Amino acid sequence: MKSPQHVPVLLEEVLEYLNVRPGGVVVDATLGLAGHSSEIAKRLGGKGKLIGFDRDPEAMEKAKARLEVLRAELGDEMPEVVFEPRAFSEASSLIEPGSLDGLLADFGVSSLQLDEAHRGFSFRTDGPLDMRMDTRSGETAEQVVNQEDENELADLIYEFGEERRSRRIARAIVRARPITTTAELARIVSAEAPPMKGEKIHPATRTFQALRIRVNNELGEIQSLLKSAGSLLKPGGRLVLISFHSLEDRLVKDAFKAAKDAKVFEVLTKKPVVAAEQEQMRNPRSRSAKMRAAEKI
C-alpha cells in the first residue's frame, strides 16, 4: 500500500503565530501525521510539553512512530509528549484550565485519510463508504447514504455541502440504493449533477464533504473546541486554527469576533492567512486553507 505523502499546511505561518517558546506547553488538537507537531517539538525543547489529540487510531500510530524518530534525533532536547487518542472536543475535561501556551487545530482531512482507499474519504480511489475518522465506533457514510430518508439526505447535502442541487442528488441516491462504494456514489452524483460551467471541482466534492462532516460531527467538534479554548490558554497564550471550507471558517471567524468583543482574545489576523503561491504549487491541498490566530488577553 502506498505510503501517504504528508505535507503540513502553512507550517511557517503556524510556527510564527503560535510563537512557540522553549519550556512551553502546546496542544496539537489534530495531530494527524505529526507534521506540525514535529516542528513544534523542536522549539519546545527538553523542558517543554506537547499534547497531541487525534481520534483516528491509524494516524495516532503513525504520529507516535514519527515522533519517536524525532526523539532519537533530539535526545534530551525532546519535550515530554502526551498522546490523547480521542476527539479534541474532550480537551476541556483533560487539560488544566489556564495551563496552555499554545493550541493548534488543523481542521483539514489528513493525507492518510484521503490517500488510503479503504478509509472511504475520497472519490478518486474506489473503496468502502466509511469516512469515519475514528474507525472504532460510530455510523459510517454507507449507513447514512442507505438509511436516511430522501428529505434528510437532501438537507444534509445542502447544509454541510452547500450543494444547490441537493434535492436532485438525494433523489438519485435513494433510487440507486444500496450504494456501498465511493466510486458508485461518485458516479451517481456526477450523472445527476454534472459540472457547472466554469466549475473546477469534481461534481461529487460537495456531497462527499457533507457526508464526512455528518459522519464525524465535525462542526460540533469545532464548536466545542472554540468554547473551551479561552479557558485552557494562559494570558498571552496563542490559538491558531486552520479551516478548509466556508462552514469551518465562519465558525472560527464568528467565535473570534465574539471573544474579541468580550475582551477574552486579541485577534492577530485581520484577514485569514492563506498559502503563498509557491506552497500552493508544491501542495495543492493548501489552496483552500485559511488560518486565523488570536492571543488570550
CA distance 170 to 159: 13
Going by pLDDT thresholds of 50, 70 and 90, the confidence category of residue 2 is very low
Domain that residue 61 falls in: 11-112+218-296
Over 50: is that where the pLDDT of 25 sits? yes
Number of domains in the chain: 2
Residue 56 labeled ligand binder: no
Residue 54 labeled ligand binder: yes
Which of 121, 143, 117, 144 lies closest to 131, judged by CA?
Answer: 121
Expressed in angstroms, the distance from the first to the final Cα of the chain is 47
Q: How many helices (H) and strands (E) does the chain have?
A: 13, 7
Over 70: is that where the pLDDT of 65 sits? yes
Q: Are residues 234 and 106 in the same domain?
A: yes
Which residue has 487539560 as its cell numbers?
95
Supply the CATH number for residue 141's domain.
1.10.150.170
Residue 226 domain flag: yes
Going by pLDDT thresholds of 50, 70 and 90, the confidence category of residue 195 is confident
Q: Are residues 187 and 209 in the same domain?
A: yes
Residue 40 domain flag: yes
Residue 36 domain flag: yes
Residue 3 domain flag: no
Q: Are residues 108 and 130 in the same domain?
A: no
CA distance 210 to 23: 40
Residue 291 domain flag: yes
Residue 286 grid coordinates: 493548501
Q: Are residues 73 and 135 in the same domain?
A: no
Q: Are residues 57 and 133 in the same domain?
A: no
Q: Are residues 93 and 178 in the same domain?
A: no
Residue 59 labeled ligand binder: no
For the stretch 108-122, pLDDT in tens is 787 667 778 888 888
Burial category of 261 from C-beta neighbours within 10 Å (exposed 0-12, middle 13-18, buried 19 and up): exposed
Residue 106 labeled ligand binder: yes
DSSP state of 75: G
Q: Which residues contact 100 (CB under 8 A, 6 or more apart)?
A: 25, 26, 27, 232, 233, 234, 237
> For strand 100-106 and strand 265-267, is the pairing parallel, antiparallel, or unpaired?
unpaired
Say what the alpha-carbon torsion angle 172, 173, 177, 183 is, to the nearest 10 degrees.
110
Q: Are residues 226 and 188 in the same domain?
A: no
Give the model's pLDDT for residue 118: 83
Residue 71 domain flag: yes
Q: Are residues 42 and 52 in the same domain?
A: yes
For the stretch 148-181, pLDDT in tens is 999 999 999 999 999 999 999 999 999 999 999 9
Domain boundary among 175, 195, 216: 216
Residue 113 labeled ligand binder: yes
Q: Are residues 263 and 277 in the same domain?
A: yes
Residue 208 domain flag: yes
Residue 280 labeled ligand binder: no
- For residues 289 and 269, the answer to whether their CB atoms sit within 8 Å is no
Q: What is the DSSP string of 94-154?
A: HS-TT-EEEEEEE-SPPHHHHH-GGG---SSS--BS---SSTTSS--HHHHHHHS-HHHHH
Q: Are residues 169 and 202 in the same domain?
A: yes
Supply the CATH number for residue 229's domain.
3.40.50.150
Q: Are residues 238 and 179 in the same domain?
A: no
For the stretch 255-284, pLDDT in tens is 999 999 999 999 999 999 999 999 999 998
Which residue has 498559502 as its cell numbers?
275
Q: What is the mean pLDDT of the chain?
A: 94
Residue 34 labeled ligand binder: yes
| Stated pTM of the model | 0.93
Domain boundary among 216, 238, 254: 216
Domain boundary among 172, 187, 216: 216
Residue 101 domain flag: yes
Q: Are residues 205 and 236 in the same domain?
A: no
Give the model's pLDDT for residue 6: 63
For the stretch 198-218, pLDDT in tens is 778 899 999 999 999 999 999
